[in-house]
Chain A
């Protein structure tokens, strides 16, 4: 077990270097002088410009800039944005926002997904099953963008059930609408996967064996069917959470939630290389961690993969 974790951690390092280097390169390959962008139309004296450039090491060779950035990130010195805001403080403000959104959205998604998926899997061809397939198809098909807007317009502006944007009303009211939309759109894939998995497991031979042992339906369900049927869902978690960060960028922009997604997007637009690299590194690390946890979980649940 420890060896497994170590092996994965070690393998992640070269990938991490590649990814951060790649992002760094992309960011600094972007044309345009960030300082000039910040200044806007006001002319800035050359000396001030030169000082700022030196402060941000903008004239040093590429590799040096990269290594300095990495050192700073890994030692927790996040510095400030070009506009002067303390990045660490920003993170402290924004991480909880994104976390709350993600948690709430996941709660909605998993509740709906598990409930409908399991129900449809067992009562195959019942009306819930049939309508589930159709509904999930529609939900998977509606582009997120459209759904967010529609929800915002319908429930926020017209019906006034939820605040339209911003976090003024705190948790959970401000987050409810975006979380609901993300969750409803997201449960479709989960429910389908679960349904298929249950249908397959129920027809498996070992279920026949369990019944032939004279086991009651409850025991067959909880100890034989579900532990096997839920396995594919575990891998789904990994993919799902990984996609969350990307989705956050759009959601937070539309609903004006001051989280990491919005931060990232603004940083890209303003060509804040440091912030982009920092957030990408964070995203990468959390992705690796989540996948590690998922793999560990899978190993605990399914003995067949343990010694591979």
Chain B
């Protein structure tokens, strides 16, 4: 992993369960990652891999029944968010750590103007007056490059296009100059050109403010574009952790390999697109041992014995695979 600024957010051995009518389901199991100032960490995974759950748990927006944090810590600048009282955490979340979501139309309050919603951050966390807060809100809209910001501050979410709305969400998230921005699939609902603009915007604003960004996505293209480091998740477990460049060039875990192999490219023209056979397991019926073994091309009997631990294969490279971490490294790692 590339290391630059101080560690802002550090999640350690976090496990979250959901109580369902058919018994508890473990959504994330022993997840650990960290993000530093100025760095972009991508959490990569399919739907159901639990990629959003760890961030929702640490910000406190997880529904607590039926959700339950079983173990683990999430430290912001050394202070554990999970063991804090709700009141204490509310002072940090929304101010120092903020979130942006995927579907901006449903993620914004339809009956309040965008200005009011942005101004709310200033009013609640900084105690500003309504007038000052609205002024700052208009400034934020300008910073995220929304034209005619002063006029548009009184408009409602449904009066913006998808890309513009996502900028509004960014404005709201960055209003208080947070240390960490958690972006949960911010571009999934947008078309490709708009997607590029939004990612560029995030990168610019990050550079200006020396912010840490946690980007949750299922899109390898996005990861390779903007992420410094990547955490790959599968069925609630972290299976690989590395700097993006290395992970994508020389993946260690067979799942990452499979993902990369199934990306369409011009070289594969004329041939059938390779895919990972099978589907991810249901969290209610997890196979014993490694969750990926049913679909893994190099699985052996030992893989069913126990869940493979996340081991350091090389400095800055972690993987959870029995075969790839005990056998002497094949690829140049």
Knowing A212-B59, A215-B120, A303-B156, the reply to whether A205 touches B103 (Cβ < 8 A) is yes
Q: Which residues of A contact B61 (CB under 8 A)?
A: 208, 211-212
Q: List 24 A-B contacts (CB under 8 A).
A: A205-B101, A205-B106, A206-B106, A206-B107, A206-B110, A209-B172, A211-B61, A212-B59, A212-B101, A213-B94, A213-B120, A213-B172, A214-B90, A214-B93, A214-B125, A215-B90, A216-B90, A219-B124, A223-B112, A223-B120, A224-B109, A231-B111, A302-B110, A303-B110
A residues adjacent to B (C-beta < 8 A)? 204-206, 208-216, 219, 223-224, 227-228, 231, 301-304
Residues of A close to B120: CB separation below 8 A: 213, 215, 223
User: B92 near A: Cβ within 8 Å?
Assistant: yes
How close is B86's CB to chain A, nearest CB, in angstroms? 9
Q: Are B156 and A209 in contact, CB atoms less than 8 angstroms apart? A: no
Q: B158 contacts the other chain (Cβ, under 8 Å)?
A: yes
Shortest CB-to-CB span from B246 to chain A, Å, is 32
| Dominant secondary structure of chain A at its interface with chain B | helix
CB-defined contacts of A208 to chain B, threshold 8 Å = 61, 101, 107
Question: How many Å lie between the Cα of A209 and that of B141 in the bound state?
Answer: 18
Q: List, in ascending order, chain B residues with CB within 8 A of A303's CB.
A: 110-111, 113, 156, 158
Complex contacts, B169 vs chain A, CB 8 Å: 209
With an 8 A cutoff between CB atoms, is B98 at the interface? Answer: yes
* Chain A residue nearest in CB terms to B94: A214
Nearest first, the 4 closest Cβ-Cβ pairs linking A and B are A214-B94, A213-B94, A205-B106, A212-B99
B residues sitting closer than 8 Å to A (CB atoms) are: 59-61, 89-95, 98-99, 101, 103, 106-113, 120-121, 124-125, 156, 158, 169, 172
Name the B residues within 8 Å of A223 (CB-CB).
Answer: 112, 120
Q: Does the CB pair B121–A213 fall under 8 Å? A: yes
Interface centre among A211, A212, A223 (most CB of B within 10 A): A212
- Pair A205/B110 contact, Cβ less than 8 Å: no
Residues A215 and B108 in contact in the complex (CB < 8 Å), given A205-B101, A205-B103: no
In the assembled complex, the CB of A244 is this many whole angstroms from the nearest CB of chain B, namely 28
State whether A214 touches B111 (Cβ < 8 A): no
Q: Tell me whether A213 and B107 are in contact (CB under 8 A).
A: no
Contact yes or no, B94 A212, CB < 8 A: yes
Closest to B111 in A: A227
Which chain A residues border B103 with CB–CB below 8 Å? Answer: 205
Alpha-carbon separation in the docked complex, A209 to B61 (Å): 9
Q: Which residues of B contact A216 (CB under 8 A)?
A: 90, 124
Identity of the chain A residue whose Cβ is nearest the Cβ of B125 in the assembled complex: A214
CA distance A301 to B156 in the complex (A): 12
Residue of B nearest to A303 (CB): B156
- Name the residue on B nearest A213 (C-beta): B94
Chain B nearest CB from A30 CB (Å) reads 50
Apart from A209-B99, A214-B89, 20 more pairs, CB < 8 Å: A205-B101, A208-B107, A209-B169, A209-B172, A212-B59, A213-B93, A213-B94, A213-B124, A214-B91, A214-B92, A214-B125, A215-B90, A215-B124, A216-B90, A219-B124, A227-B111, A301-B111, A303-B110, A303-B111, A303-B156
Residues of B within 8 A of A214 (CB): 89-95, 124-125
**Within the assembled complex, what's the spacing in Å between the Cα atoms of A212 and B95?**
9
A231 partner residues in chain B, CB cutoff 8 A: 111
